[in-house]
Structure 1
Amino acid sequence: MGEWWLFWTGDGGTPGEDEVPGWGDLPEREKALRFRDRQPILISPEGRVDPRLSKIFRRSAFSAKAEGTQETYAPIYRVFFTFLWQRGLNWDEAVPEDLEDWEEWRRRAAANPEKIGGATWAKELAALTLFYKIACGQGFAEVNPVLMRSVRTPDGGEAEVAELAPNDVVYADVKWLTPRAFRLWRNVGLGGMLPSGLEDETWRGRLGGRDCAFADLTYSSGMRRREAGTILTCEIPKLGRQNYYSGKVGHKIAKRAGHTFYASHAALQRVEGYRLSTRAEAVRVAQARGAYDDLPGQRIIYKVTRRRGVLWTERDGRRGEGSLDTLTAADRLRLYIRTEDGLEPAMLWLTESGMPFSYKNWTKVFERASDRCEALGLDVFATPHMLRHSMALRVLVSLHNALDRRLGLTPAERQHYEDVYGPVWSMVKDMLGHKNEQVTRDIYLEPVRGLQLDSLLNDEDNPVDVEKIAELAARTGLILDAA
C-alpha cells in the first residue's frame, strides 16, 4: 500500500529469540545506538529506517516535548510521509506546494470522507512546523515546506506564524462544571442512575464503580488524564482524618514536571471502595485463569523505597530499579506486585478482565457517559480536561474566600497584600545568591504552596464555597450548571 509504519522503543513488545530468531537482543542493540525509551521509529514502505529521523527523534526539540505531545505528533508524521511517498517523494523532498495540497485534502477535498476542522489542522501544522524546523536546521532537508509570515502581536512585538494557519479554530465555550453539574453527569453518565436520582433498571454497565472513582479523583485533584490514569496503587494517599490529602505526580507522566496533587477524603474513599470491590474481583478472576503469568516485558516490584525508588525483577530473574518519578506511562503498564494470592497489576485502574487500563481509553469512557446524558435529555457533558478546569475554578474561588475570611481582607486589600509580598522573592534571591529569581521560586515556592494549601484545604471553618461558583455560572454563562 506504500504506507509508512510507526513503532516505539521500550514498549514491552520485543519478541524473544525463540519467537523471532535474530531479534532477541533488540533492546541491547537499541541501547547501543542510544535510542531512548518510548522513541518513535518510522519505517519506510521499503522497510528502511532513516538514521536522520532517528537522530531527530532521539535528541532535538522534539524529544524535549512531553510524552503525550510526542505520541500525538509521531502519527501525524507517519500520515504526511505516506502522502508524500504516494506522490513519489521522500519526507525530505517536500516543498510548500505539497503541504498546500495536503491541507486541501485534509480539510476540503470532496473525496475525503474524514475531513478535519481548524483545531485538528492547527495541531497537525504545529507538528510539521516543529519537525521541518529541526530537519532544516540539522541539514537533513533543503526546503522547509512550512512557510512562515510575521504578524504584529498585541504588545507591539512580532511573531512568526505559518501561512496555512487556520482561521476557523472553534474552542468550546464551556470548560467548567459546577459541583452539582458534575455530580449529575457522573451519577447518570457513569453510574447508571436516572435524572430523577433513581436506579436505572436497564443499566448494564459493570464498571460504574471504577469510572465514578476515576471521575471523582480527577475532579477533586485536577490531575491530567495521563496523570490520574496511570497512577499506581502505591501512589494513592492513605486515608486518615483530613479533608484533603497530598500525593506526588511523577515527572515522566506530568506534562512538564512532577508536582504535588491534593485529593479530597470523599474522592479517595470512592477510590478505596473500587479497589476493594470491583478491582479486587477482576484481579481474582484474572489470577484464577493465569492471566498475569509470564507476560512479555513484565516487571515484578519487590520494594518501593521511602524516596520513591522502585525495585523489580524481570521475567528472566534479572533485577532492575527506577523511580516513581522516571516511570513512563508505558513502564507503569508493565509493573506488577506479588501478594499472598498471587501477582496483580501495580496500576490502579483495570479492565473488566483484570488487565491494566490504558489512560487514553478514558476519553471514550467520558464520551459514552456524555452520550447517555444527552439521550436522557440532560444538557451536561464532560471531558477529563473539563474536570481539571473545574477543579482549578473551584479551588481558586474557595481559596480566595478562605484567605479573605482568615485575614479579614476585602478584595482590594487582598490585591495590596499580594503586591506588597511580591518583592519578597527578589530579596530572598539576593540573600541566597541566586542569579535568577525563578530559581528561588522553583526551589522554595512549592513547599510554601504546600503549607498554604494544606492549611486552607483542611480548614473546617472554610469549606469549599460551591454557591459562589453557582452564582458565577448564572452570571457569566460560561460554566455548565445543573438546575
Structure 2
Amino acid sequence: MSPISQQGYARNIAAFLSFLTSARSGISWRDVNEDDHVAYLVWRRRDASGPRVSGATWNREVAAVNNFYRWAVRKGFVAANPIPHHARSGRSHTPGRIDNQGSSPTTYSRDVNRDNIEWIPQASYRRWRDTGMKGMNADGLPRPAFRGRWATRNAVFCDLMVRTGLRLAEQSALTVFDLPTEHQPVSYQRFRLPVAIAKGSSTRWVYIPESIVRELINYRDIDRRQIIDDARAHGRYDKIARPLVVEDPAQPIAVDYTNAGVKARVKVSNLDHTDRRRLYIAGDRGLEPASFWLTERGMPVSVSRWKGLFHEANVRCADVGIPLRVHPHMLRHTFAVVTLEQLQRGHIAALREQTAEQRGHYTRIFGDPLDWVRRRMGHRSITTTMIYLHTLAELEMETRMALVPDDWEEPPAPPNPLASNTNASQGNPARVPELIPVNHRRHPRVSMKFHHATNRRPHLLRPTLRAPHRSSSSEMTDGHGRSPPTSGPCPAGTDRHSTHSPDAQVRPEHCGQKRPRVRSGCSSPRFCGISTRFPIRQQYRPLSRCGMSRGISGSEHLWPVSTDRWSARQFCGEY
C-alpha cells in the first residue's frame, strides 16, 4: 500500500474512533458491536447535524474500518468484526471493495454513480491551463497582475498528466532517472513507471509525446537549473539530514549512510514516495535533488502543494469569468476518454475494409482499444476501464440530442414574395401560405383540386400524386372525380384564361360573366381550378387556402406554385 493510501486509511480509522469517544460514551474499540457501526452510518450520512458524506466517501471509510477489524480478528485482539457482512454469490453488484473471504459489508452504499466520470475537452483544458496555470487573461494575453514565477513548471506538469494518465502521487514522485533526457526523432518516448511508486504495484510503460518531452527538457535545463543554483548558493542542501546519495548518475543506485557509518545500497527504482524525497545526486558542485519537480526553495513538491496549485488555478479562472474547475484526477480521466475515443475510431476505420480473416489478424496484433487503455491506466481489471465506455455512450447521446430542436412548434412560413402589387393595393394582401408536407417522388405530377360548395367557404384539398407523365388540361378534376368542361361561358385553354409565366403564382381571372348566387342543394355550382406539373422534392410546399371572398359561391384565390420547370393552366367553367 502506498504512503498516501496509508494516510487515508489512518484518517478514516481515526474518525471512527473519535465518534466512539464523543457519541458512544467513550466505548473502547475492542467492545464495538454492530449497533455502534450503524449509529456511525446514521451520523455520517443521514443525521442533519452530521457531515452527510457521499456514497463514495462512505464506502472508503467502511473499507478502512473493515480492514482494520479484519486485522484485529486475525491477531486475536477482538472476537468478531462489528461490521455486518453478506456472502457473495456469483457476480457482486456491490460498488465497494470486496474482501478476500468472499463477502462484503452490508452497509456499503449502493448510490455510487461510477459512470459519472469528470473529464474536460481538449479546448477547455487548454483554456484552463493558459488562464489558471500560465496567468493569461480570458482573451489569451498575459495578466499584468500575475506573479507566478514557475508557470512553465506548472503547465508542463499538467500537460504530462493529461497526455499520459498518470496519477498525481505517481507523477509527483518521478525523478530525473525516470523521465526521458534527450530529444529523439520519434513521435513518442516511453519510460517504465517504477513498481515502488505505482498504485497497487501496477508498473507499466508510460508513453510521452515528443512535444511534451521537449517541454520537460526545457524546464529541466532552464527553470529547474535556476532553482538548484539558487538553493546551493543559500546552502540549503548542506543541511539535509541523512540523505540518500547517488554517487554515479550513470548507475542509479542510492547509498544510505546509517548512524554507524555502514553503507546500504538500494536501487532508485525500489525507493517509495517517502525515500525519493530525500534522494540526492552528488556532483562537482555539491548535492542536488533527484526529484524532477522542485519548489522555489529547491525542495521536492509535495502532493498537497500540487493540489493547492490546482485550486489557485481554478480561482484565477473564476476571477476572469471562466467557469472551469479542474482537479488532478480529472486530467487522468480526460486522457482515458480522449484516448479511448480516438483508438475506437481508428480501430473501426481499420476494420471496415478488411475481411473476416484480416480482422482477426489485426485484432491479434494490435489488440482491443479498451485493453490498451487499461494497460496505460494501470487497471488490474478490464471492468474498471469499462466505465469510460459509458462516458463515450453519453457523448454519443449528447450528440444525438443536439439534433433534436428545442422548439417543437411549426416553423413560421416566410412571407409570400410572389403576391401581385395589384392585390396589395386593393387591400387584399397575399395570404401566408400553409406548409403541407408531400412525399418524395421522382418528377411526379401534382393535380391540385378545388371546388366551391354552396354554403361554405372554398377550401383546398391535399395534392394528389400521380405517375410522371405530361400534363393535360383534361385530367384536371373537381374533387368529385369529374373533369371540368372545355366549353362554356369561360372555356379553358383560351389565351384569356391560360397562364404560362415564370412567376410562382397563378391567379385565376374572373370570367367576366355575372355569377348567380347558388342556393344550397344546387347541382350547378361554379368551378375554378388550376393544374400544375413540376418536380417535388422531400420538403414542404406552400399552398394558400383562399384570398378575398366574393359572396357565397365566388371568391378570388392566390395559389403559389413551383418555379422549377413548372407549367400551369387555369380552368374556369360550369358543371
- Which TM-score band (shorter chain)? 0.5 to 0.7
Measured at CA, do residues 234 and 116 of structure 1 come closer, stay the same or move farther in structure 2, by a change above 3 Å? same
- Aligned position for 2:26: 88
Measured at CA, do residues 297 and 191 of structure 1 come closer, stay the same or move farther in structure 2, by a change above 3 Å? same
User: SS in structure 1 opposite 2:130?
Assistant: helix
Shift of 1:90: 2.7
TM-score by length of 1: 0.67
2:300 counterpart of 1:356: yes
* 1:330-378 per-position Cα deviation (integer Å, ceiling 9, x unaligned): 0100111123332221101111221111134322222322232233332
Alignment match of 2:141 (pick from 181, 198, 201): 198
Shift of 1:123: 0.8
- Aligned position for 2:5: 69
Name the CA distance, whole Å, in 2 between partners of 1:338 and 1:155.
53
User: SS in structure 2 opposite 1:282?
Assistant: helix
- Aligned position for 1:331: 275
Structure 2 unaligned residues grouped into runs of 5+: 377-391, 400-575
Structure whose residues are more often helix by fraction:
1
User: SS in structure 1 opposite 2:300?
Assistant: coil
Name the CA distance, whole Å, in 2 between partners of 1:355 and 1:155.
46
* 1:440-460 per-position Cα deviation (integer Å, ceiling 9, x unaligned): xxxxx99xx99xxxxxxxxxx
User: SS in structure 2 opposite 1:325?
Assistant: helix
2:67 counterpart of 1:122: no
Q: How does 1:211-222 map to 2 (within 5 A)?
A: 211-222=154-165
Shift of 1:473: 8.5
TM-score by length of 2: 0.57
Alignment match of 2:328 (pick from 359, 384, 387): 384
Shift of 1:405: 6.3
Aligned AA (1:135) = A
Aligned AA (1:149) = H
Q: How does 1:45-444 map to 2 (within 5 A)?
A: 65-85=1-21, 87-112=25-50, 114-150=51-87, 160-169=103-112, 173-238=116-181, 239-255=183-199, 256-304=201-249, 309-311=253-255, 313=257, 318-402=262-346, 409=353, 416-417=360-361
User: SS in structure 2 opposite 1:200?
Assistant: coil
Shift of 1:395: 2.9
Q: Percent identity?
A: 28
Aligned AA (2:242) = G
Name the CA distance, whole Å, in 2 between partners of 1:472 and 1:203.
40
User: SS in structure 2 opposite 1:201?
Assistant: coil
Measured at CA, do residues 78 and 303 of structure 1 come closer, stay the same or move farther in structure 2, by a change above 3 Å? farther
User: SS in structure 1 opposite 2:248?
Assistant: strand
- Aligned position for 2:564: none
Once the two structures are overlaid, the 10-residue window that deviates more, 393-402 or 183-192, is 393-402
Once the two structures are overlaid, the 10-residue window that deviates more, 311-320 or 178-187, is 311-320
User: SS in structure 1 opposite 2:237?
Assistant: coil
Measured at CA, do residues 339 and 325 of structure 1 come closer, stay the same or move farther in structure 2, by a change above 3 Å? closer
Aligned AA (1:148) = H
Given that 1:298 and 1:314 are in contact with CA atoms closer than 8 Å, whether structure 2 keeps it comes out as no
Aligned AA (2:168) = R
The structure with the larger Rg is 2
Given that 2:246 and 2:253 are in contact with CA atoms closer than 8 Å, whether structure 1 keeps it comes out as no
Measured at CA, do residues 116 and 406 of structure 1 come closer, stay the same or move farther in structure 2, by a change above 3 Å? closer
Aligned AA (2:71) = I
* 1:414-446 per-position Cα deviation (integer Å, ceiling 9, x unaligned): 864566679x9xxxxxxxxxxxxxxxxxxxx99
Measured at CA, do residues 286 and 388 of structure 1 come closer, stay the same or move farther in structure 2, by a change above 3 Å? same
Shift of 1:197: 1.0
Measured at CA, do residues 376 and 160 of structure 1 come closer, stay the same or move farther in structure 2, by a change above 3 Å? farther
Measured at CA, do residues 420 and 259 of structure 1 come closer, stay the same or move farther in structure 2, by a change above 3 Å? closer
User: SS in structure 2 opposite 1:165?
Assistant: coil
Shift of 1:150: 4.9
Given that 2:244 and 2:255 are in contact with CA atoms closer than 8 Å, whether structure 1 keeps it comes out as no
Shift of 1:407: 7.4
Given that 1:219 and 1:390 are in contact with CA atoms closer than 8 Å, whether structure 2 keeps it comes out as yes
